[in-house]
Structure 1
């Protein structure tokens, strides 16, 4: 029985998409390193009325969602978590989109079925990137939110099991290899 429990725990760790890093304090304004540049982030108010998503409003909504997601930078990984005490990759997106009145499914493979599939060359801020990080590479089990696009350098926020909520680049070999598809929700 104990062997089955340990096997299940190891499988959950390998298949999950988050990380463990101590939570940083959230202030009104923070600087978050994204590669060689620095992005200034302002916390969004929970009392702010959400802008209706339309063609012109989509970039505004994307920026708001990205800013919300960035406020969780440094939050440790917790499988199934959706709070500043710990969250996984889909929990990060679930909470960030919900804060702006957009409902997403709770699991990354379910989120991948939402929105419109787009070519990687069409990716803009606010789009979602999906990855296969398990032995079954074609099976989606990880998701990230695009925070910036600079030429062919795409940076995205996500929660990893080793480092918690961080910003990574699609240029990194691991993420480039694990990439499956991109979608646009907004």
Structure 2
């Protein structure tokens, strides 16, 4: 029964993007910039020097503004600079888009195949963000956002095949005045990018959640 539920979890959809190459041409995917070991050590050294200076002046009243980070251990790799174009969101989209064209697999969370929630779960997990495993459970976390207020990195949910509760999830990768594009894994096409302008997804859309 569990396996059957996984198989119906994600509805096949019309393909908009079926490969990373096409995604690159459309400006939806860019290769992440690699930081060399030397650069990383240099940044860490500068950070330590800054901390030493701040500590030496602790006797004098001062206000220290610390920019928000995701995890102190990943501070050199993951950094939110602003709400709209955060580095973390860009890397989440890059990571998910690297799986474009990978086939569907019930219960899958690797390049051997993904189901819809498996793609989202594994993408966020790479950045030490642990989401619930099923699309229905994912829909219960974060903050619900109006479709018109959607931003890249938000999770988008649907109810497919006459089900009574949410059973499909994707991640928003592009937002315009007319549509929201999202990456997801469908049973027929695997990992693709689709749009809320498609009749099927326009009809089955339920909600968008902001989890970051």
TM-score, with length taken from structure 2: 0.69
Number of the residue aligned with 1:69: 96
Number of the residue aligned with 2:205: 179
The equivalences for 1:84-123 within 5 A come to 84-123=111-150
Say if 1:77 and 1:161, in contact at 8 Å, map to a contact too. yes
- Aligned equivalents of 2:85, 2:130: Cα separation in 1: 15
Alpha-carbon offset, residue 135 of structure 1: 1.2
- What is the aligned counterpart of 2:21 among 8, 31, 42? 31
Cα 1:41/1:31, change in 2 over 3 Å = farther
Number of the residue aligned with 1:17: 10
- What is the aligned counterpart of 2:166 among 136, 140, 152? 140
Does structure 1 residue 153 correspond to structure 2 residue 179?
Answer: yes
Alpha-carbon offset, residue 60 of structure 1: 1.6
Say if 1:134 and 1:141, in contact at 8 Å, map to a contact too. no
Cα 1:10/1:72, change in 2 over 3 Å = same
Cα 1:66/1:40, change in 2 over 3 Å = closer
Larger-gyration structure (1/2): 2
Alpha-carbon offset, residue 40 of structure 1: 3.9
What is the SS of the residue equivalent to 2:128?
Answer: coil
Alpha-carbon offset, residue 152 of structure 1: 1.8
Cα 1:31/1:153, change in 2 over 3 Å = same
What is the SS of the residue equivalent to 1:64?
Answer: helix
Unaligned runs of 5+ in 1: 20-25
- Aligned equivalents of 1:62, 1:165: Cα separation in 2: 18
Task: Identify, as 1 or 2, the structure richer in strand.
Answer: 1
Task: Identify, as 1 or 2, the structure richer in helix.
Answer: 2
TM-score, with length taken from structure 1: 0.78
Question: What is the count of residue pairs matched by the alignment?
Answer: 168
Alpha-carbon offset, residue 100 of structure 1: 1.0
What is the SS of the residue equivalent to 1:31?
Answer: helix
- What is the aligned counterpart of 2:195 among 169, 173, 179? 169
- Aligned equivalents of 1:107, 1:53: Cα separation in 2: 27
